[in-house]
Amino acid sequence: MRYRGAIGQWSWVLHRLTGLGVVLFVFLHVIDTSWAVFDPEGYVEAIAAYQSPLFTIGEFGLVFAVIYHALNGLRIIVMDFRPDLWKYQQQAAYYVLGGTVIVLMPFFFLMGQDAIAHYTSDPFVLPITDVLAAQLPFLGYFVVGAIAALIVASLQSSLSDNGGGTVQVGKAGSSSEKFWWSFMRISGILIVPLVFGHLAMMHVLQGVFELTAANHQIIGIPQGVPVDVVTLANGINESGTSVEFVAERWGFLWNGIAIWKVYDIALLALVVMHGFNGLRYVLTDYTSDNPLLYRTVTNLCLVGGVALLLVGALALLGTIEPDAIEMAAEATMKLYGGG
């Protein structure tokens, strides 16, 4: 009952690969964004890794993935509700590719300009070995999650009547699967403005390199807002640290509402639930004939999604204190200033 690539296989594969690529990014991104609150020095290092050539190349791939997946996702949604248009599936798949190229052009142009300006200014570049080493903890979290999922799956198998011989797979008609089918479509539509707004702010109108620009006006905060002593939200990144950048945005109150926190909560909830349920679709497609593996990957997606929602929500509920910004300033000096 869900989209299974009835049209050209390439567009189905591309939708799948781009979805998986974005899930992987979100997994790293939500955890390291939380370090702005829980581990300011770790956040400084994570953003330094984002500002290295490996991630710069990866970001072009990420933007392609988000744009293609969004446009193709919208095509799937339209086709689901307008079966009379199915005869144009193949053409529509090509329109999506063409649309992706058109939308990508201004993104790539502005991102490219920013990257050239940055790399020709003799910047500090985190060595690739450090960039790769910084990703190791994520592998650790994945392994721990996978082991936990396997243990729970084994218990489930031994507790089930038949000793795990069969498992209810592909219950397409069940009410929970109907819920997820609708959720994937509704969340997909809601994610479009949120994720494009976020990318525009972090990537295009202001690039990832500006996260650490000292005395720089922060995007999303109007100039000249009164300084709030607790949150420091005057809209200027005086310290030039990525931690102050996040503290200012999350601390900025618009009519008493921390709008960027509200925005990020919505983004977090929709993206994590959509992405991890999508991951479940993919992984269960390849494990449906093995009950233990099927249960393991289902548990893994549940554990991973819930853990990520918790980490992201706790960070959003936390406060970045001024001394966290001082710690970040010292770490930035040590790292970027070479001492």
Q: Which residues contact ligand HEM (rule: CB under 6 A)?
A: 2-3, 15-16, 19-20, 22-23, 26, 29-30, 33-34, 59, 62, 66, 69-70, 73-74, 76-77, 181, 184-185, 188, 191-192, 195, 198-199, 202-203, 208, 211, 246, 249, 260, 264, 267-268, 271, 274-275, 278-279, 281-282, 312, 315-316
State which residue, 227 or 262, has the beta carbon closest to ligand HEM.
262
What tokens does 128 get? 């690739």
Nearer to ligand HEM, 134 or 267 (CB): 267
243 neighbors 36 (Cβ within 8 angstroms): yes
Which DSSP letter does residue 1 get?
-
For residue 237, the cross-strand partners are: 216
**CB of residue 73 vs ligand HEM: minimum separation in angstroms?**
2
Q: How far is the CB of 157 from ligand HEM (least distance, A)?
A: 25
In the complex, least distance from residue 114 CB atom to ligand HEM, rounded to whole angstroms: 11
E strand spans, the chain: 216-217, 236-237
Q: How far is the CB of 127 from ligand HEM (least distance, A)?
A: 20
In whole angstroms, how close is the CB of 166 to ligand HEM at the nearest point?
23
> How far apart are alpha carbons 150 and 167 in whole angstroms?
15
Closer Cβ to ligand HEM, 114 or 264, answer by number: 264
96/191 with CB nearer ligand HEM: 191
Distances (CA, A) of 313 to 261, 262, 273, 309: 10, 11, 13, 6
Are the CB atoms for 247 and 37 separated by under 8 Å? no
By C-beta, is 157 or 212 nearer to ligand HEM? Answer: 212
Pick the closer one to ligand HEM by CB: 281 or 336.
281
- How near is the Cβ of 147 to ligand HEM at its closest, in Å? 23
Q: What is the DSSP letter of 221?
A: S
CB contact set of 140 (below 8 Å; sequence gap of 6+) = none
Rounded to a whole number of angstroms, the minimum distance from the CB of residue 41 to ligand HEM is 16
**Cβ atoms within 10 A of the Cβ of 101, count?**
12
Looking at beta carbons only, is 233 or 335 nearer to ligand HEM?
233
Map tokens 């985190």 to a residue.
126
Could you give the maximum distance between any two Cα atoms of the chain, in Å?
68
Calpha distance 78→81 (Å, rounded) = 5
- Shortest spacing between CB 65 and ligand HEM, in angstroms: 8
CB of 239 to ligand HEM, least distance (A): 15
Cα torsion 217, 220, 226, 230: sign: negative
Cβ atoms of residues 31 and 141 within 8 Å = yes
Toward ligand HEM, which CB reaches closer, 53 or 163?
Answer: 53
Q: Quick check: 15 and 100 in contact, CB under 8 A?
A: no
Burial 77-92 (b: 16+ CB within 10 A, else e): bebeeeeeeeeeeeeb
Nearer CB in complex with ligand HEM: 42/188? 188
- Calpha distance 320→247 (Å, rounded): 6
